[in-house]
Amino acid sequence: MSGIIERYRAYLDLGDIPAVTLGEGGTPLVHWATWGIQDIYLKLEGTNPTGSFKDRGMTVAVSVAKAQGARGVICASTGNTAASAAAYAARAGLPAFVVVPEGRVTREKMMQALAHGAKTLSVSGNFDQALAAVRRLAQERGDIALVNSVNPWRLRGQETGAYEIVDELGAPPAALVLPVGNAGNISAYFHGFRRYGRGIPQMFGIQAAGAAAMVEGRDLENPETIATAIRIGKPASRHLAQEAVLVSQGQFLAVSDQDILRAQQELAHGGVFVEPASATAYAGLKVLRDRGALPPGPIVAILTGTGLKDGQTPFQWIDQTTYPTSADALGSHIERLLEEGAARVAH
Ligand code: F0G
């Protein structure tokens, strides 16, 4: 079946409203490694139609907005919500308005929103100020649907990630590790596991050290991190996320931008290319392993967005060496590179 609404309609309380869908969900759960008694799985949410996990919630939020006769949709965004809202609104034939923090959203995400025809407005503040503004506006107007994760339909849709993991593993994993920005996704997974009724994994929410509002237990005025998707100082779902971590006996954890870049590189060198916000989860997973804080059993890390979402940051670690050659010399060059590679592996 195509799309999470058709697959999980019974869990979503949507009645029989038509689905605005792009075939989201059903993302790969890849066995990445075995670390002693832990099997590590990566859920590749970047394979969703617009390249991030946001599509799970957006198909539901936009379907409901359309069914309720909204004149359009609006969101504040660090980029992925904007791209997703733009695509699903386009699918629904509704106008989309996306409000972004000026100069802090990657070109690729801006391009997606614009390509789908969204009206894009940039504000000089950060994401938190943009969100406050669109919340006010949506409330005042009443005819434009707010599709940020403060819209409960967004979280309902994102719960389906948890359903898929249980369906595939046959049971919930021992732990779930995911990046936290506005704190919607960790809350959605928690409620998803709860609703599915097979048990709840320990939930670990990983933040960038410069934007670690959950770890620090307070709002931040000037969040800063290379992982622009989670450059958020006032998580809107703070209380839900706190409950998720408390009840599941997990924890919040901060990792440095350096750790995030290293994690992005390590994943890429294993064939998995994700954006920095997603690499944050993997960086956190490694810290938890080193501290012996992971429970035994399967562990799932949610990799929220594809690496193609950010075409700049990887150049901080990519080896850009290219080798000038000629048709005649190609054979000997390749032989030399193979030998160098063999020497590196033997080291
Ligand atoms: N990973 C990526 C790639 C994201 O884009 C986001 C949030 C998160 C993780 C964090 O998820 O906010 O539910 O805790 N991006 C939002 C946006 C804020 O506007 O695209 P969260």
- Residue 340 CA, ligand 1 centroid: distance in Å: 40
Contact 204, 251 (CB under 8 A): yes
- pLDDT tens digits, 176-198: 999 999 999 999 999 999 999 99
pLDDT at 343: 74
Residue 344 reports pLDDT greater than 80 = no
Ligand 1 center–CA 75 separation, angstroms: 13
Say what percent of the chain tops pLDDT 90: 97
C-alpha to C-alpha distances, 156 to 53, 190, 194, nearest whole angstrom:
13, 11, 12
DSSP 70-121: -SEEEEE-SSHHHHHHHHHHHHHT--EEEEEETT-S-HHHHHHHHHTT-EEE
Identity at 119, one-letter amino acid code: K
Task: DSSP letter for 218, please.
Answer: S
Topology adopted by domain 54-152: Rossmann fold (3.40.50)
Mutate to test the pocket of ligand 1, among 304, 306, 309, 310 (most ligand atoms within 8 A of CB): 304
User: What distance in angstroms lies between residue 345's CA and the mean position of ligand 1's atoms?
Assistant: 37
C-alpha to C-alpha distance for 297 and 302, rounded to whole angstroms: 16
What is the pairing mode between strands 144-146 and 175-179?
A: unpaired
CA 52 to ligand 1: nearest atom: 3
Evaluate whether 4-52+156-314 and 54-152 have a shared fold.
yes
Q: What pLDDT does residue 57 have?
A: 98
Q: Which of 230, 242, 255 to mutate to test the pocket of ligand 1 (most atoms within 8 A of CB)?
A: 230
- The class of domain 4-52+156-314 in CATH terms is alpha beta
Band the pLDDT of 261: cuts 50, 70, 90: very high
DSSP per residue over 186-215, as a string?
HHHHHHHHHHHTS--PEEEEEEEGGG-HHH
Q: What is the mean pLDDT of residues 295-323?
A: 97
Mean pLDDT along residues 264-287: 98
Decide if pLDDT at 227 tops 70: yes
* Cα 44 to middle of ligand 1, angstroms: 14
Distance 69 CA to ligand 1 centre (A): 27
Nearest-atom number in ligand 1 for the CA of 241 is 14
Closest ligand 1 atom to 84 CA: 20
Helical packing angle, 4-12 and 54-67, nearest 10°: 70
Tens digits of residue pLDDT in 63-99:
999 999 999 999 999 999 999 999 999 999 999 999 9
Q: Whose CA is nearest to atom 10 of ligand 1?
A: 181
Measure Cα distances from 155 to 32, 149, 150, 228, 317 in Å: 27, 6, 8, 21, 34
pLDDT over 60 (residue 347): no
pLDDT at 345 exceeding the cut of 80: no
pLDDT digits (tens, 9 = 90+) for 5-63: 999 999 999 999 999 999 999 999 999 999 999 999 999 999 999 999 999 999 999 99
Q: With beta carbons less than 8 A apart as the criterion, state whether 55 and 88 touch.
A: yes
Q: What is the pLDDT of residue 1?
A: 58
Compute the distance from residue 306 Cα to the ligand 1 centre, in Å: 12
Q: What is the pLDDT of residue 342?
A: 74
Q: What was the pLDDT predicted at 346?
A: 61
Ligand 1 pocket list (CB less than 6 A): 52, 54, 77-81, 149, 179-185, 229-230, 275, 277-278, 304-305
Where are the alpha helices (H) located in the chain, listed in sequence order? 4-12, 54-67, 80-92, 107-115, 127-141, 152-158, 160-169, 184-196, 213-216, 238-247, 257-269, 276-290, 330-346
- pLDDT tens for each residue of 99-155: 999 999 999 999 999 999 999 999 999 999 999 999 999 999 999 999 999 999 999
Which atom from ligand 1 is nearest to the alpha carbon of 179? Answer: 9
CA of 99 to the centre of ligand 1 (A): 15
Ligand 1 mean position to 77 CA, how many Å?
8
Give the ranges where 270-329 is alpha helix by DSSP (H). Answer: 276-290
Domains in the chain: boundaries: 4-52+156-314, 54-152
For residue 148, give the ligand 1 atom closest to its CA: 19
Q: What is the mean pLDDT of the chain?
A: 97
Residue whose CA lies nearest to ligand 1 atom number 4: 229
